[in-house]
Chain A
Amino acid sequence: MHALTFRAMGTTVSVLAPDPASAERARTAVRARCEAEEARFSRFSGSSELSHVNRDAGVPTRVSPTFASVVAEALRAARSTEGAFDPTVHDAVLAAGYDRDFDEVLAGARGTLHPARPCGRWTDVRLHGDVLHLPRGVHLDLGGIAKGWTADRAAEDAIGDGVRWVLVNAGGDLRVAGEAPALDVAVEDPWAPDRELTRLRLRSGALATSSTLRRAWGQGQHHVIDPRTGAPSRSPLVQATVWAPTCAEAEVRATACLIAGAADGHRPSVIVHATGDVQVAARTEEAA
């Protein structure tokens, strides 16, 4: 097994493949996909398709098939989680202080904080084919689901380029594709990321983790917005790791689980309570 890493989408992306040559080929495919989708979905780039769409809120806008596909998936996710996952939290994220690239937020270069207002306007978003109509004053943030979706497509691209199997890890959002062996994945301790909480063995599909202790810039200030309040979540959980067949779905489920404050009842998961307790809902096997 051979791993290679690079920076994209505001995080570290790593690619694991059977041998150095495969890893190199996989990295080329995965990097190309990540760069293309970052240019499309970034809310920090004024020239991204997302920024254009948000500027056009209030009037019907024609979008690319890829953009329409991710918006459709985001709206399905909002329905299936009853709004716990909400692609219209954009303004709430800005109001909480995450209004520019996270490195700049950490450096203290934040805009003015604004009072939180409940979200939930995803029910008013209309998508007909490739025509998207955002109501006036409603803006999209596809960050998490777009990252998971990109990891899914990137893994498929690598397999399409002839790599036997690949694991794409986009900042903790993992997707395995091809004829992969069982791969051990360490779930990080949210208070000490260099320590393992537990270890999962992944054979197929995807794992994603959402945490209120990552991308946090102060006490109670973090990027996981509770759509019910429009403020950073006050969940009793600090971290949720969820398995799903695709990375986009795992990302949605992990976020919804964190906001709901309970384990996902349908998917294997590892959740960490603010008390320090860790709850694992998955089959157990003996270590080799």
Chain B
Amino acid sequence: MTTEPVRRARWPKRRIQVLAWFSGAATVLAGGAALATDPPVAPSRPARSERQRAAEVHVIRRIIVVDPPSAPPQPQTVTVIAPPAVQPAPAPATTGGS
């Protein structure tokens, strides 16, 4: 004996169309709502004043004496002279790059 399979009732076409319209509209509204509630991006730097200010660059001439190399090959071959209180006489030689 065979049994006739139970056939599920099909939705009417009109109902499917209405459902599709509703879900589409809901998606659009959800996206809009998310954008509306998102906080605005903070500006990365303060807004410019109307007149651009010229940058003033100060070159600071600092002299830093650091530890000498740990093991110079010949100690005392060259040394830095602490500046004297009075202007020294011109050095007999200068080095300034080539």
List A residues at the B interface (Cβ < 8 Å).
1, 3, 11, 14, 16, 144, 147, 167, 169, 171-174, 183-188, 190, 193, 196-205, 207-211, 213-215, 239, 241, 243, 245, 263-268, 270, 275-287
Contact = CB atoms under 8 A, between A and B. Distances in A.
A203 B76 contact: yes
A267 B69 contact: yes
B41 interface: no
Nearest to A9: B98
- Interface size of B as a range: 20 to 34
Contacts of A265: 69
Main secondary structure of the interface of A (DSSP, over half): strand
Contacts of A270: 80
Given A280-B64, A284-B65, A147 B94 contact: no
B64 A282 contact: no
Interface string B46-87: 000000000000011111111111001111111111111000
A275 B57 CA distance: 10
B60 A188 contact: no
B96 interface: yes
A210 B97 contact: yes
B60 A276 contact: yes
Nearest to A190: B97
B78 to A, nearest CB: 4
Contacts of B76: 203, 283
B81 A205 contact: no
Given A172-B94, A196-B91, A276 B61 contact: yes
B28 interface: no
B98 A280 contact: no
Main secondary structure of the interface of B (DSSP, over half): loop
Nearest to A199: B81
Contact of A279 (B60, B66, B72, B84): B66
Contacts of B93: 14, 16, 167, 169, 174, 183-186, 202
A59 to B, nearest CB: 32
A199 B78 contact: no
A188 B79 contact: no
16 contacts: A184-B91, A185-B92, A186-B95, A199-B83, A203-B77, A203-B78, A204-B77, A210-B97, A211-B98, A214-B96, A214-B97, A214-B98, A245-B74, A277-B64, A284-B81, A287-B83
B66 A190 contact: no
Contact of A208 (B72, B79, B95): B95
B88 interface: yes
A278 B78 contact: no
Contacts of A286: 81-82
Closest 8 CB pairs of A and B: A211-B97, A188-B96, A186-B91, A287-B84, A276-B59, A214-B97, A243-B78, A184-B91
A2 to B, nearest CB: 10
